[in-house]
Structure 1
Amino acid sequence: MIFNILEIKIVSKNVGSARYYLAELNKIKIDVIDNMYLQAMIKYFTAILDLISRKCQEEDVLRIAEMFDFLGMDTKKNKCLTFCDKVKTLYDIV
């Protein structure tokens, strides 16, 4: 659910609010059973927000998306790559 909120906040260009929800995810990651997936998603959204603020390159986001392929989650990888392309378009990232 929080991942959906993060996507909405990023698409609506409310980066500050997206960072808040990302911080909340970091607070609960220890209590989550599927910690590996949660950590991968936290890394992914952190990289997306860093890409928006020009603190990282697209390659960093792509490398993280590859983790989902490693975990056997091809659909999630494709969704992450599609969302990355959407973010690049919305924020004029070349």
Structure 2
Amino acid sequence: MAYESDEPVAMARFKIDNYQMNFYRLSVDPICQGQGVGKNLLKSLEAYAKSNDVSEIICKVRMNIKKNIKIYKDSGYFIFDDYTIDKPNNESLHIVSMRKFI
């Protein structure tokens, strides 16, 4: 969680397994977006991973959200896989898996 004036403004969920951290649902309050809150939370995740002997971090991003892919690429992540999820409403979600070695 990230806080501003004791109020939560961002969060991410993660799991560590076999020297690998998988994080998901990183979200920032829309009011705080564009202020570096998400990038700082990402740096905190990476610091926590390093302190727990994690050697790589993985996340999944919807391909159509280009700004998120760019944020992760700018932070040293790279795409290593992609796939499509077919939703019950005939909608397809294109997903990329991104990785960073730390």
Q: Same fold by TM-score, threshold 0.5 exceeded?
A: no
Q: Which has the larger radius of gyration?
A: 2
TM range (shorter): 0.3 to 0.5
User: Greater share of helix residues, 1 or 2?
Assistant: 1
Per the normalisation by structure 2, the TM-score is 0.34
Q: Which has the higher strand share?
A: 2
